[in-house]
């Protein structure tokens, strides 16, 4: 699993176009940690039942940004990054993330994941659900080495992941749609990235104040990352983002720019009508995208993302000046810049 020493972090994680680690010693430390995480992921899914290993490796080997272990490893730089439990905790968090992807693809009836056929499409829904359960089980087994308090915290994170998905499924009802949505994306995305920051710092022996700050930064970054995805799905052409725009419109998912647009009395009535239902016709998707790009909703979503970035920078200011803090600042800038 070793990688050439000169590989930039952005190449290893797929986060090209705005994020890299300038300090060579820090980059090598993170690179080494990511390699160890990959080894742990492969080791953890080995089973006497070979089919369970095969289905688990389907997404492990598909790659991805590894954003969560990357964040954990950066957080660990505020203590001893080579401490025994740092990489294990980073691998656990990534394993939980992978488990949720198997379940998400079933709920979304997805056919592709990370450029490959999704597990539910390759096998069936039952296999995908059970593989996600298998990964949760393996993550829990490894977490036993982290101690009772960490296991309790991980259980609370499991709860947030589940309740976030449940909130999204049942809808906001009489609650404010924007506030409800922000709660959903915190639980579904921000909670696990917050745990990554907490675990990386905690198991490196970082100061308590720094552990709390890095957990808050993870919460902010995780929520902001989802908002940036919402913006990209509307604002970025496929040639630039590598993703087909309008996916959320086709699925009938109301993301933050759409919710802001619907809350604006000046929004074009035609856009309101288009946002009232999933869109299957390419012409309607293109029309909705054009209207959203000119809407106040997209502007307010960008302003909200900028606010999250400012909050993250305030938290970063409480950490010691170091290459790791500089790298985290670059990560915050990346989350915003990827939408421009």
pLDDT (0 to 100) of residue 339: 82
> How far, in Å, are 165, 181, 184, 192, 336 from residue 187 at the CA level?
8, 10, 5, 8, 20
Same domain, residue pair 102 and 223: no
Q: What is the pLDDT of residue 114?
A: 62
Based on the structure, what is the number of domains in the chain? Answer: 2
Instruction: Note the pLDDT of residue 225.
Output: 93
Does residue 197 sit in the same domain as residue 221?
Answer: no
- Nearest alpha-carbon partner for 87 in 74, 100, 101, 106: 74
The answer to whether 58 and 122 have CB atoms below 8 angstroms apart is: yes
Q: Pick the last residue of a domain from 162, 179, 202.
A: 202
Can you give the CATH number for the domain in which 111 is found? 1.10.600.10
Q: What residues pair up with 307 in beta bridges, in sequence order?
A: none
Residue 185: inside a domain, yes or no?
A: no
One domain for residues 196 and 249: no
Q: Which of 179, 202, 225 is at the close of a domain?
A: 202
Give the separation between CA 161 and CA 154, rounded to whole angstroms. 11
The shares of helix, strand and coil residues in the chain, as percent rounded to the nearest 5, are: 70, 0, 25
Give me the numbers of helices (H) and strands (E) for the chain, helices first please: 18, 2
H-state helical runs in the chain: 9-13, 24-44, 50-60, 67-75, 86-108, 119-122, 125-143, 148-170, 177-185, 191-202, 208-235, 238-241, 247-251, 256-263, 269-274, 282-293, 296-316, 323-337
212 and 340, same domain (yes or no): yes
Report the C-alpha gap between 19 and 271 in whole angstroms. Answer: 35
In a domain, 235, yes or no: yes
Determine the structural domain holding residue 197 and report its residue range. 23-148+191-202
Same domain, 252 and 323: yes
Residue 4's pLDDT is: 44
Q: What are phi and psi of 117, to 5 degrees?
A: -60, 130
pLDDT of the residue at 302: 96
What pLDDT was estimated at residue 158? 95
Tens digit of pLDDT at every position of the chain (340 positions)? 444 444 555 655 656 555 778 899 999 999 999 999 999 999 999 999 999 999 998 888 887 789 999 999 999 999 999 999 999 999 999 999 999 998 887 877 767 666 677 888 888 889 989 999 999 999 999 999 999 999 999 999 999 999 999 999 999 999 999 999 999 999 999 999 999 999 999 999 999 999 999 999 999 999 999 999 999 999 977 545 456 789 899 988 999 999 999 999 999 999 999 999 999 999 999 999 999 999 999 999 999 999 999 999 999 999 999 999 999 999 999 998 888 7
**Helix, strand or coil, per DSSP, at residue 23:** coil
Is residue 153 included in any domain, yes or no? no
| pLDDT value at residue 112 | 65
- Are 197 and 74 in the same domain? yes
pLDDT at residue number 241 = 45
224 inside domain: yes
Residue with tokens 């994020």: 19
Would residue 66 count as lying in a domain?
Answer: yes
Would 31 be classed as within a structural domain? yes
Residue 166 placed within a domain? no
In whole angstroms, give the CA distance from residue 87 to residue 74. Answer: 11
pTM, to two decimals: 0.91
Residues 153, 200 contacting (CB under 8 angstroms) = no
């Amino acid at each position: 699993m070793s990688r050439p020493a000169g590989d930039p972090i952005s190449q290893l994680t797929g986060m090209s176009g705005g994020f890299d680690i300038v300090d060579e010693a820090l980059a090598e430390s993170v690179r080494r940690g990511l390699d160890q995480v990959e080894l742990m992921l492969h080791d953890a899914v080995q089973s006497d039942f070979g089919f369970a290993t095969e289905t688990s490796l389907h997404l492990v080997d598909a790659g991805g940004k590894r954003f969560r272990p990357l964040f954990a490893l950066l957080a660990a730089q505020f203590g001893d990054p080579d401490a025994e439990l740092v990489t294990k905790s980073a691998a656990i968090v990534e394993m939980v993330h992978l488990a949720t992807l198997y379940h998400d693809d079933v709920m979304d009836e997805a056919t592709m994941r990370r450029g490959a056929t999704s597990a539910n499409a390759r096998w069936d829904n039952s296999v995908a659900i059970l593989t996600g359960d298998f990964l949760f089980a393996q993550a829990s087994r490894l977490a036993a080495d982290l101690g009772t308090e960490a296991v309790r915290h991980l259980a609370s994170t499991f709860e947030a992941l589940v309740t976030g998905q449940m909130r999204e499924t049942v809808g906001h009802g009489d609650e404010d749609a924007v506030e409800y949505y922000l709660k959903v994306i915190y639980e579904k995305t921000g909670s696990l990235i917050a745990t990554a920051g907490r675990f990386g710092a905690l198991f490196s022996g970082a100061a308590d104040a720094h552990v709390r700050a890095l957990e808050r930064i993870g919460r902010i970054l995780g929520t902001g990352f989802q908002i940036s995805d919402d913006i990209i799905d509307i604002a970025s052409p496929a040639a630039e983002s590598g993703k087909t725009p309008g996916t959320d419109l086709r699925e009938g998912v109301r993301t933050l720019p759409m919710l802001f647009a619907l809350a604006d009395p000046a929004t074009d009535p035609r856009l309101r009508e288009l946002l009232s239902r999933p869109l299957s016709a390419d012409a309607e998707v293109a029309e909705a995208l054009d209207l959203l790009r000119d809407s106040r909703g997209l502007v307010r979503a960008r302003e909200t993302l900028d606010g999250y970035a400012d909050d993250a920078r305030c938290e970063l200011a409480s950490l010691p000046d170091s290459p790791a803090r500089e790298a985290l600042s670059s990560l915050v800038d990346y989350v915003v810049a990827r939408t421009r």
